[in-house]
Amino acid sequence: MKTLSQLLPDLLHGIENLRLHKLRTLLTMLGMIFGVAAVVSMLSIGAGAQQQMMAFIEQLGVRNLIVEAKEAANYQDLQKVRKISPGLTFRDWRIIKANINGIDQTTPRKRFTPSKMLPKPQRDMPVVYGVGPSYLRIAGLQVVAGRWFDAGESDHAAPLCVLGDGARAGLYGNQEALGQYVKVNEQWFHVIGVVAPQLTMQGSASALPTQDLNNLLYVPLYTAIDRLEDTNSDLKDDIDGIYLQMLPSIDMLSTSEVVRGILNTTHGGARDFSVVAPAELLAEQKRTQRIFEMVMVAIASISLLVGGIGIMNIMLAGILERTREIGVRRAVGARRVDIVRQFLLEAMLISIVGGLIGLVFGFGMSRVIALLAGWSTIVTLASILLAFLVSVTVGLIFGTYPAVKAARLDPAEAIRYE
């Protein structure tokens, strides 16, 4: 209680002093306000990107391995590659199945981009994915209307399809899609199902080719191969993707290396494929996120550092203005520790109030960024606590020197100071 009784008058005196110099106090706070706002808004961008990326990786399935055929940049490059590699083939798929233990589900994929489609899409042309029935489980798709095709329909190349949410909206708008027919090139397909929306990321972020995973038409694998035209088939891969879902007990990283080794052998070292392991992406994303957050905090903390220097400058200037006041307080019995406490309280008040305003400003900035830039932003409790703690710490550190300098003034000299 004694400590509180000593602290309260100093606190009230500090508030009164800051209130009497409103403009000076506001200008001193600006550095803290912008610094805290920058920390909060930058961390919110990082947290939003992290959540979106993690959701996408989980959607890929951390127990999945995905083999993607690499497209050649031009016809000449493709011809050079074909001299040493046949491309991704069913033979590759069979060799992988025979030599990799612990495969739970697997399917090849054949992808087509139609030249025409009826009904005419209102948006971009949907891409056709020819896959096996197991793709439903591997990709974690949820059928929201109708059903998925079965093994018998796949083996007999049945002319039916399941629509992604974007393809459904582009082809039929608000109309019922289930039971309708879609003409892909010259082949009619019966719509038997619709799947729920999926999260789509840019290829550069996910190590996968850029593809709108909602604007897809899923058809049985052999339906795509047998019924859809494919020009220059001698220069195209038999298949362009292989999906492997492993059992929980399998080490994903070592398995992905074995798959790479098998394909390097069968492709003659052409490196015309990539093996994507979401587990590897997850680990790499976490490492990248930690580095990103450290860099963002370091950049934003520069503003807090500038704010702290501003506090120190203003407090040092205040010492000159209040030299006589300090001398009088020392003359009537105030100790050095009382003077230090007074100036530190004022510095802390500036930091705390500036930090609180900065938190509000940073929260607003994150919402504006999300609205204008279309980025996902998330203000986390950790970012709020970090920004506020740093602002208070900066105020404490940069307020200490002026406080100690004020306490060391000679009372007699201070009273005579004009």
What is the amino acid identity at position 248? P
Helix axes 336-373 and 323-331, enclosed angle (nearest 10): 140
Chain mean position to CA 268: 37
pLDDT of res. 5: 60
Rounded Cα distance, 230 and 188, in Å:
16
Return the closest-CA partner of residue 314 out of 341, 351, 339: 351
pLDDT of res. 232: 47
| Residue 35 · residue 308 · CB < 8 Å | no
pLDDT of res. 148: 95
- 203 class by beta-carbon count within 10 Å (0-12 exposed, 13-18 middle, 19+ buried): exposed
Does the pTM surpass 0.75? The reply is no
Phi-psi region of 398 (alpha: psi -120 to 50; beta: other; left: phi over 0): alpha
- 367 class by beta-carbon count within 10 Å (0-12 exposed, 13-18 middle, 19+ buried): middle
Pairing of strands 187-195, 143-146: antiparallel
pLDDT of res. 9: 67
Pairing of strands 241-246, 64-69: antiparallel
Query: Domain segments of the chain: what residues?
Result: 2-56+284-416, 71-271
pLDDT tens track of the chain, all 418 residues? 445 566 666 667 667 777 776 777 777 777 778 878 888 887 787 777 777 766 666 666 778 888 988 877 677 777 787 788 888 889 999 999 999 999 999 999 999 889 899 999 988 899 999 999 999 998 888 999 999 999 999 889 999 999 999 999 999 988 899 999 999 988 999 999 999 988 765 544 445 566 788 899 999 999 998 888 665 455 556 788 999 998 888 888 888 899 999 999 988 888 888 888 876 666 776 777 777 777 766 766 676 677 677 777 777 776 766 677 777 777 777 777 777 777 788 778 888 888 888 888 888 888 888 888 777 788 878 778 877 887 788 778 877 877 777 777 766 665 655 5
C-alpha count within 13 angstroms, C-beta hemisphere, residue 186: 5
| Residue 96 · residue 249 · CB < 8 Å | no
Return the closest-CA partner of residue 192 out of 224, 155, 153: 153
Q: Cβ atoms within 10 A of the Cβ of 354, count? A: 30
Rounded Cα distance, 32 and 353, in Å:
9
**3-state class of 181 per DSSP?**
strand
Sequence-ordered alpha helix ranges (H) in 272-380: 278-321, 323-331, 336-373
Q: Cβ atoms within 10 A of the Cβ of 229, count? A: 12
pLDDT of res. 205: 46
Q: Which helix (H) or strand (E) holds 103?
A: strand 103-112
